[in-house]
Amino acid sequence: MRRIWVCTGLVLAVAACGGGEPTLTEYVESLNDVVGRASEQYYDLVASEQGGVLVAEGGQLTAFTPQDLQAALEQVSEIAVEVEEAVSAIEAPEQVADLHRLFFDFNGGFVSAQEALATRAGTAADWEELSETPEMAAYRVALAKDKQSCAEFQAKLDATEERGVFAETPWIPGELKEVVELLLGCEGYPEHPEDVYRPPPTSTP
Under 8 Å between Cβ of 25 and 14: yes
pLDDT at 150: 76
pLDDT at 54: 93
Measure Cα distances from 112 to 116, 139, 143, 181 in Å.
6, 9, 11, 22
SS3 89: coil
In the chain, what are the domain boundaries? Answer: 24-192
pLDDT at 38: 85
Low-confidence residues in the chain, pLDDT < 70 = 1-22, 102-108, 154, 156-187, 203-205
Residue 136 CB partners (closer than 8 Å, separation 6+): 117, 120, 130, 197
pLDDT at 17: 39
> Is residue 73 within a helix (H) or strand (E), and if so which, with residue range?
helix 66-88
pLDDT at 135: 98
pLDDT at 13: 28
Helices (H), 89-122: 97-103, 108-121
| b/e per residue 130-152 (b: at least 16 CB within 10 A) | bbebebbebbbebbbebbebbee
pLDDT at 95: 73
pLDDT at 101: 73
Burial of 127 (0-12, 13-18, 19+ CB in 10 A): buried
Query: 3 — phi, psi (to 5°)?
Result: 60, 60
